[in-house]
Structure 1
Amino acid sequence: MENEINIKNIDTKKRSSMEVTIFLLITFGMSIFFGVLIYLNIYNNVSIIALFMMLVPATGVAFAKELKTKNKNPTHVLHYLLIGNFVLSLCMIILRILGIVSDDAINALIGLITPLISIMILFYSWYKCPNLDPFANVKKVVAPILIFLFISIIGLIVMSKGKNINYTDLITDIFLILPNLVSQSILFFGEEYGWREFLQPVLQKKFGKRIGVILLGIIWQSWHIPFYFPDINWNIKMLLLRFCYLIALSILMGYIYMRSHNVWMCALVHLINNTIFGYLSNNSSDIYLGFLALSFVLSLFIFSKEYDKNQNCFNNEVNPPC
């Protein structure tokens, strides 16, 4: 009996390692592939590529789970929705590179498919996947999410010196955050299902909660680097600042994930971040100081009890099924 248990544990570890390998190969493989296309000016519509790349981490998880094992959990359907959307989007970009379709056609498809798939995934997660329930433990993380929203708005105003901001649009976008989470969930869930739901527990179990989440922030930012190729005059200070900020943001999201076990709340934070800081439009010294200050504040969450060694933040497994 003991030998059987040991063999089972070894098989589980091998399967987990293989899943992580497949996930990283897909996520970074696609990042490097599109980075090369951008660098060689084969296809450099960064806005379309960025939207596509937001689908990749979740698709990496889906391929990793479905290729190695016969998934009998409800996530099986979810994974094939993710894979199908990924393949369709990739085919459209390939057709664009070949000159068969236009960017306008891709944008039209995005406008049509994204809300449809987003609502399907959100509803299916709620209806069939208890561990992906969008409403699970929401009350536990309302306060830190609102704090993040507040300090992000203050940071935006300070860094922009209150100029070049259309406050009517900003207020409108803030009120549209929750509706946008519904209509664009495939994009933000697409990243967070990969980084927070899948990779964070793996890294934290292997390296500890604090080191694991810091490594996740480094990996997350490294994945973004090929998208900077259009800027031939790289700003090293800004690149380092991005590492600091995404590590700090990973600490906050890690806290929210461990506290709520709800990856949708991480997707919400991601959406808030993109919504607020999408209004920044310059590289002044105020931005450097502002993001350093914001990074410092967010990093303080690493001292919360959720990051304590003895605090159990996992649901029995590295990647609990639905």
Structure 2
Amino acid sequence: MNTTEKKKLLIFVAVAYGMAYVMSALMFIGFKKGYDLTAFVNTMMLYPACGVILGKLICKKEDEKLPMFGYITVIVTCAIMVVMSICSLFIHFEPSKNGTDFWASLSSVPLIIGSIVAYVAFWACGKEKRINAGVQRSNFGWCILWAFITVILLFGRVFLSVFATDLFAHNHDGWNMLKGVLVSPSFWIGFIFLPFNFFLSWLAFFGEEYGWRYYLQPVMQRKMGKRLAVIVLGVVWALWHLGADFMYYTTKDGPQAMVAQIITCIAFAVFFGFLYMKTENIWLLAFAHFANNNLTALFAGGGSQAIQNQSIAWSQLPIQALSFIIFILFILAPIYSNKKKEKAE
């Protein structure tokens, strides 16, 4: 790794992890007050992309062409959402009758606008700039196929989890709950609108995937080899979520949430890593990440409120690990063989 690459890595770590942990310290203020922290968690997703973008801009070669307007849109969107998150700690509004938090709703506005503007900017910037930035739409046909497969696997994971839970509990409670979700019109309406919602919020999921898959995965694979790198990446990705694990996803079962996050992130680091090596298309990864998060919320019965303040027992973790086996098995794919040469980033 040369001096420029080391500088980019330091910038990435400083922004992606530095911002996440600094904002987690501020989250603690809201946590102690019992405030909704959705605005913080949504904003957090943009930090990895901002780390990559700032590294590229600071270390930019004189003749290197980059999609400047798209990059600036990402940074400005993140900055506005950071300000809104901080404001939510000191200017408090009671939740609406349906439980929706004011600042969570307001922070979605810059995200929607940023998603639309950045999409157009990356589309219109030209092929050379897209390739230099890693936002080209390569292997489009394969990406459509893998998007469908991803959704099927996500459904399969839920069914496997329910089956395993009921098997060990010797009852049908999980299956009865799942049947209730699947016959609910609201579930299928939400499912049908997923592609439209993705267009309006893709920037958040791009924010993570641009950092983890586009940037950090190749860096780590060159150092550690393909298989070990994605496993380690899963762990460091999980540790990046620490603030959300202890103050958002659960407020009383933090250690369990952290272990659950490590299991989840390793499994998806393997599968998402496979998708990225297979297609080299960051848009597919953004969609896969979006599909997982939104289907999880739909199966849980709603939006962000459904995944907050969860109760997580240690006894649930082995079943969770078992349900993720369909993603972890992708580590055996031939593309993970270190005998294959890595493509230059």
TM superposition score category, shorter chain reference: 0.7 to 0.9
Q: How many Å apart are 1:238 and its aligned residue?
A: 4.2
Cα distance in 2 for residues equivalent to 1:54 and 1:222? 14
Match of 1:205 among 222, 242, 257: 222
For the pair 1:46 / 2:43, whether they are aligned, the reply is no
Q: How many Å apart are 1:276 and its aligned residue?
A: 1.5
- 1:1-322 aligned at under 5 Å gives the runs 13-40=2-29, 41=31, 44-69=35-60, 72-99=64-91, 106-128=103-125, 129-131=129-131, 132-133=134-135, 135-157=137-159, 158-159=161-162, 160-163=174-177, 165=181, 167-230=184-247, 231-234=250-253, 236-278=255-297, 279-280=299-300, 283=312, 288-314=317-343, 316=344, 318=345
| Post-superposition CA distance 1:120-140 (Å, at most 9, x none) | 222222332433456421322
Cα distance in 1 for residues equivalent to 2:48 and 2:86? 19
Is residue 306–residue 313 contact of structure 1 (8 Å, CA) maintained in 2? no
- Structure 1 residues 98-107 or 145-154, which shifts more? 98-107
- Structure 1 residues 223-232 or 207-216, which shifts more? 223-232
The secondary structure found in structure 1 opposite 2:181 is coil
Aligned CA distance change for structure 1 residues 130 and 30 (closer, same or farther; 3 Å): closer
Q: How many Å apart are 1:115 and its aligned residue?
A: 2.1
Is residue 234–residue 265 contact of structure 2 (8 Å, CA) maintained in 1? yes
Cα distance in 2 for residues equivalent to 1:134 and 1:177? 22
Provide the TM-score with structure 2 as the length reference: 0.78
Cα distance in 2 for residues equivalent to 1:101 and 1:91? 16
Q: How many Å apart are 1:88 and its aligned residue?
A: 1.6
- Structure 1 residues 269-278 or 232-241, which shifts more? 232-241
- Number of matched pairs: 305
- What letter corresponds to residue 119 of structure 1 in structure 2? I
- What letter corresponds to residue 136 of structure 1 in structure 2? S
Could you list the runs of 5+ residues in structure 2 that have no partner in the other structure? 96-100, 163-173, 301-305
Q: How many Å apart are 1:54 and its aligned residue?
A: 1.0
Aligned CA distance change for structure 1 residues 99 and 37 (closer, same or farther; 3 Å): same
Cα distance in 2 for residues equivalent to 1:101 and 1:63? 34
Cα distance in 2 for residues equivalent to 1:109 and 1:65? 30
Cα distance in 2 for residues equivalent to 1:117 and 1:260? 25
Cα distance in 2 for residues equivalent to 1:283 and 1:73? 48
Q: How many Å apart are 1:286 and its aligned residue?
A: 8.6
Is residue 170–residue 276 contact of structure 1 (8 Å, CA) maintained in 2? no
- Structure 1 residues 161-170 or 278-287, which shifts more? 278-287
Cα distance in 2 for residues equivalent to 1:37 and 1:247? 28
- What letter corresponds to residue 242 of structure 1 in structure 2? Q
| Post-superposition CA distance 1:250-275 (Å, at most 9, x none) | 11101110111101101111011111
Cα distance in 2 for residues equivalent to 1:94 and 1:101? 14
Q: How many Å apart are 1:58 and its aligned residue?
A: 0.7
- What letter corresponds to residue 61 of structure 1 in structure 2? V
The secondary structure found in structure 2 opposite 1:229 is helix
Could you list the runs of 5+ residues in structure 1 that have no partner in the other structure? 1-11
More relative contact order, 1 or 2 (CA 8 Å, 6+ apart):
1
- Structure 1 residues 100-109 or 258-267, which shifts more? 100-109
Is residue 141–residue 259 contact of structure 1 (8 Å, CA) maintained in 2? no
Q: Percent sequence identity over matched residues?
A: 22
Cα distance in 2 for residues equivalent to 1:223 and 1:151? 25
- Structure 1 residues 43-52 or 192-201, which shifts more? 43-52
Cα distance in 1 for residues equivalent to 2:156 and 2:105? 35
- What letter corresponds to residue 117 of structure 1 in structure 2? G
Aligned CA distance change for structure 1 residues 127 and 305 (closer, same or farther; 3 Å): farther
- What letter corresponds to residue 130 of structure 2 in structure 1? P
- Structure 1 residues 270-279 or 137-146, which shifts more? 137-146
Aligned CA distance change for structure 1 residues 244 and 93 (closer, same or farther; 3 Å): closer
